[in-house]
Amino acid sequence: MTDQTPPKETPLLDVTALYKLFAVGKPAARFKRPVKEWLQAAGPSPKLHAVDNVNFTIARGETMGLVGESGCGKSTLVRLLTRLLDPTDGSIRLNGEEIGQMPAKGFGSSPYRPRVQMVFQDATDSLNPRYTAFDAIADPINRLKPMPSADLAKRVAELADLCGLPQALLSRFPHQLSGGQKARVGIARAIAVDPELLILDEPTAALDVSVQVVILQLLDDLKQRLGMSYLFVSHDLNVVRLLCDRVMVMYLGKIVEIGPADSVFRNPRHPYTQALLSAIPHFEPGAASARIRLGGEPRSPIDPSPNVCRFMGRCPKSIAQCETAMPHLRPMAPGHEASCHLAEPDADLVKVIA
Ligand SMILES: Nc1ncnc2c1ncn2[C@@H]1O[C@H](COP(=O)(O)OP(=O)(O)OP(=O)(O)O)[C@@H](O)[C@H]1O
Ligand SMILES: [Mg+2]
């Protein structure tokens, strides 16, 4: 780590050509052949492309949304960024400093650990049942930024206040707290070591709707007060629209569309984003008929062809070119890119490029 402050334009997070391939279906040693001989005969094991050449940045104070269907690679991407997983290839820079090459095992004790923190989907699963709320909030401080016990008690009380958790609840165990209260503990714990980037993987999915609203308001309020950046993973597009400055849409390991939330929601260019957005419930007459229903089967993420669009087979608009050339992200509007052969950029953008 250097002491120099990075130049202003350096993004807080800069992800370049990031890959995570999982080896799957390793052949078993059958028919009494020696394992080595069997593996040699079987050749290299197939690879599941969970994160496949992903590139994006997050600026300081920015909220980036990440949406996409189940299994598209959102949690794998999050686990790479929080360095719980080692990337197969690519670069992850925090404030201009490379953290992607550091082995995941050593990251827990590195000076970067406090700077990226995470709020998990289900606070019940992520809280230790033997820790009181106080212990849970104090735990990351003890591990990453230890302080004398009087200061620790003050800091935990301050964090509980910030997160709207009554002090009286600090002595309770997770099973003695409601879902909303546990979510507040999870958030207080994540912000305890002053992270610059907070990654939220479906933070409200396990909560009922009225509590969701309160927790989302809390997150928005904390962001304003503490100036953190968020990567907000969600299935709920309405929430992403409300909370996020920019949004990226992931499909089978690839970012297929990225841009300012306003621009993507107003004029989605990728057929997958169009289908996702058309599924948001509307109450206007006739809105139901505008819903795009995707048929077909998703392509396999195992050793996918580099020359075929990943959305092929489900795309209602596909043409012959989609089977011979993989589309790449192209500019569509200011800051807005999509990877579809048929997507048309804004007319003024075409003029600028020409
Ligand atoms: N350790 C692993 N070994 C092999 N495959 C894995 C592993 N972890 C994840 N995968 C696969 O990687 C792909 C992406 O999984 P991931 O959990 O990142 O999806 P997701 O977008 O978070 O889904 P969800 O919305 O359901 O949480 C899936 O096909 C999954 O089966
Ligand atoms: Mg997930």
Summarize pLDDT for 40-99 with one digit per residue, the tens.
666 678 999 999 999 999 999 999 999 999 999 999 999 999 999 999 999 999 999 999
Q: Which of 57-71, 241-255, 281-295 has the lowest mean pLDDT?
A: 281-295
Q: Ligand 2 centre from 16 Cα, in Å?
A: 21
Indicate the top mutation candidate among 76, 121, 237 to test ligand 1's pocket, ranked by most ligand atoms within 8 A of CB.
Answer: 76
Q: Is the CB of 50 under 6 A from ligand 1?
A: yes
What tens digit of pLDDT does each residue of 203-233 get? 888 788 888 888 999 999 998 889 999 999 9
What's the predicted TM-score (pTM) here?
Answer: 0.89
Q: Ligand 2 centre from 45 Cα, in Å?
A: 24
The CB-based long-range contact list for 214-217 (8 Å cut-off, 24+ gap) reads 214/180, 215/180, 215/183, 215/184, 215/187, 216/242, 216/243
For atom 2 of ligand 1, which residue has the closest CA? 22
Q: Where are the beta strands (DSSP E) in the chain?
A: 13-23, 47-58, 63-67, 89-94, 97-98, 116-119, 197-201, 229-233, 246-251, 254-260, 330-333, 336-338
2 — pLDDT class (breaks 50, 70, 90): very low
For atom 22 of ligand 1, which residue has the closest CA? 75
Indicate the top mutation candidate among 19, 74, 86, 240 to test ligand 1's pocket, ranked by most ligand atoms within 8 A of CB.
Answer: 74
State how far the Cα of 350 lies from the Cα of 348, in Å rounded to an integer: 5
For atom 10 of ligand 1, which residue has the closest CA? 50
